[in-house]
Structures are given as C-alpha cells and as structure tokens.
Amino acid sequence: MPLEFDSISRTCSRGKRNDTSPMTFHETKIPGVFEILIEPRGDDRGFFARTWCQREFEEHGLDTKQAQSSVSLNTRKGTLRGMHYQAAPFPETKVVRCTQGAIYDVVLDLRRESGTFKKWIAVELTAENRSMVYVPKGCAHGFLTLRDNTEVFYQISEFYDAPSARGVRWDDPAFEIVWPEKVEVISERDRTYPDFK
C-alpha cells in the first residue's frame, strides 16, 4: 500500500477545559499534507466529534481561511475526479472528507521547490472512519470512488476561479499514481489533460 506517514504524529493540545473532542493530525511523507482523525466522544445517544477548529489548525501551521464548501455525489463505484488544483493568483487549500461511501483519496505534490515534487500519497476516506485530508496550496487532489453513491465534502480556502483551474492526468507516467481499482467513469476534461512537463 502507498500509505506512508511520517514518524511524527502530532496531537492537538486540549488546552481549554471545554476542549472535549480534539482532532489528531498525522503529517504524511509529503510536507504540509495531513491526515486528520476525529476523536469521537460517545454515550448512549451516539457520539459527538469535532471536524473543524481554527485554533487546532493554526497550531499545526495550516491555513484556516474558508471561502467555500462544496459536495460531490458520485453515483457509481469507479468514478474518478482529478487531479485538480487552482493556480496563482488564487491557489487553494482543501480539507476533504467522505460523508457517504468510500474513496481512495490522492494528493500529488506539484511544488517545484519541494523535496517531494511529483510524489503522491493516498488515504482511504470512508463514511465509517470519518478521516479527513488537508491538501495544501501547490498540490493536486483527486479520488476514485470505492462504492456506489459516494458523497465527498470539501472545505476550500479560495473562491472558485475558472481561469485559474488546472489539472494533471490521473494516469500520467510522470507521477505513476497507483489506483486500486479500474476507472469506470471520468470526465472528458480529466481524461485528456496533456502530459506533465
């Protein structure tokens, strides 16, 4: 499996007395890309868990600006969306979580100055594990659905700007991304991005 994480696991400080449901931040092998785990507090009603906290994100050096939230519903297993990013002057960060179904979520480092330039990581996000992925500016993001009727929720730092929208091809040999299952559904735009140079 290509799931490789840094040995450093960063857990947020509980700090204040009412901080009863913190999140845990795991930095991946790509600097600035985090898998974020919730910590449910359960009782006979079910559970309560935090999925966003400006203070906790700031403690880990992450961008806390939120301009838009979006959701995508993918009716068929094997649907691929990506690999997308937004270029300057409107680069964006994203927090991605799967609220229904399951996805194989991929983040690709396109920051030329980065030591992990053209490297990628993947995390399985499901409605059951409730994990999230933080995608920093300069990284492309995409996913493959692992079940029918999969819904994905995004928190995005910038407003959508069509002239700044960019992408790279999911199967570009420059990246050698390994997808776990066959791609069954993909848009014409995502299928035909040119080779990366």
Q: Tell me the catalytic residues.
A: 84, 154
The number of angstroms, rounded, from the C-alpha of 61 to the middle of its chain's C-alpha atoms is 17
Tell the residue number behind the tokens 């594990």, with chain if given.
129
Structure tokens at 46: 């079910």
Contacts 24+ apart (CB under 8 A), 63-69: 63/93, 63/136, 63/137, 63/157, 65/93, 65/157, 65/158, 66/155, 66/156, 66/157, 67/156, 67/157, 67/158, 67/159, 68/155, 68/156, 68/158, 68/159, 68/160, 69/153, 69/154, 69/155, 69/156
Angle at CA 107, nearest 5°, toward 92 and 67?
20
* CA atoms of 33 and 151, how far apart (whole Å): 22
